[in-house]
Amino acid sequence: MLHFLLRRLLLTIPVLLGVATLVFSLLHLVPGDPVEAMLGESASPQEIARVRTQLGLDRPLYAQYWTFLEGVGRGDLGVSLRTNEPVAQAIATRMPATIELAIAAMCLAIVVAIPLGIVAAAGAGTIVDYAATTLALAGISIPNFWLGPLLAIVFAITLGWLPVSGSGTLAHLVLPAITLGAPLGAVLARMTRASVLEELRELYVLAARARGVSRAGAILHHAFRNSLIPIVTVLGLQTGAVLTGAVITETIFAWPGVGRLLIQSINFRDYPLVQGCILLIAVTYVAMNLLTDLAYGMLDPRIRYE
């Protein structure tokens, strides 16, 4: 297991280096002078020169790159041009809100989608199956930037049950969590249904039934357990969708997380903050993929010996 873990960790290093390089080059993709783009036309030449020095843009490219990598290694992502707050600190203060939202959305998706997928597989071809698959397909097709406002219209504005935006209480979390969790739940339900259905056709399930195991027992203790790998894969891969979805969901519900910070920093052309947010989200995604790989190893010992 240790060898498997080390090999996976080593494979992640070049990916992280590539991600950091791409994030570094973002500032150099700005058409024209990035400092002038950030400060606007009214900025004085002295101010432009000061910010250029602050960002190190007056130094050779290789020196800028090395300083950037060094800073990333130390957790120093520069300073926000708008607030002068260190980027790492600005992100750290908003990270808990994003984590809270992402965990709530994923828990909601798992709690609803996995039983739904199992029920659909158990009753394949019945009205329950069709209802579940239609619901899942709707969940995939309805984008969260429409679902969020729709939920707000119904539950916040028409019924007045929940707050339309903000944070701080459990009630504030409900609509953003549903908005963010719905597409993930839809994908999970489809995958659970397909995997359980596939396992139900296997001979070992028939053997369990022949030994007198109940149908529910055969599904839960045999078929479902073996269908966990594709389900975990989807859950791991969908972390990316959750992280990107958080950018949109946080913007809709004014949720004070990293996603909203990213959009605000884009609107203010605060490029160091944009770079910091993008880097953090990408690194989180890479880490989640690594954890998914490690989870495979635990779920299926054959994988770690490959």
Partner 1 sequence: MSSRRWQGRALLVTGAIIVGATAVAAVIGPWLTPFDPASQELPLRLAGPTASHPFGLDELGRDILARVLAGARISFAVGLAVVSVSASVGTVLGATAGYFGGMTDDLISRVIVILLAFPGLLLAIALVAVLGPSLANVLLALTVIGWVGYARLVRGQVLRAREFEYVQAARALGASAPRILWRHVIPSAIPAVVVQATLGMAGAIIGEAALSFLGLGVQPPTPSWGTMLNGGRAHLLDAPHLTIFPGVAIALLVLGFNFVGDGLRDLADPKQARR
| Interface characters, 91-130, with partner 1 (x: CB under 8 A) | ----------------------------------x-----
CB of residue 267 to partner 1, shortest distance in Å: 7
Q: Does 15 bind partner 1 (CB under 8 A)?
A: yes
CA-to-CA distance for 195 and 223, rounded, in angstroms? Answer: 8
Stretch that binds partner 1, among 41-49, 54-62, 90-98, 133-141 (CB under 8 A): 133-141
Q: Does 31 bind partner 1 (CB under 8 A)?
A: yes
Stretch that binds partner 1, among 60-68, 107-115, 151-159, 216-224 (CB under 8 A): 151-159
CA-to-CA distance for 218 and 161, rounded, in angstroms? Answer: 41
Instruction: Judge whether 219 and 71 are in contact, CB under 8 Å.
Output: no
Q: Report the residue from 247, 258, 261, 294 that binds partner 1 according to the rule CB under 8 A.
A: 247
Residues 254-273 that bind partner 1 (CB under 8 A): 262-263, 266-267, 271
Q: Report the residue from 118, 119, 152, 218 that binds partner 1 according to the rule CB under 8 A.
A: 152
User: Based on CB atoms, which residue is closest to partner 1, 24 or 296?
Assistant: 24
User: For binding to partner 1 (CB under 8 A), which residues are involved?
Assistant: 14-16, 18-19, 21-23, 26-27, 29-31, 34, 125, 133, 137-138, 140-143, 145-146, 149-150, 152-153, 157, 164, 190-191, 193-194, 239-241, 243-245, 247-248, 251-252, 262-263, 266-267, 271, 274, 278, 281-282, 285-286, 289
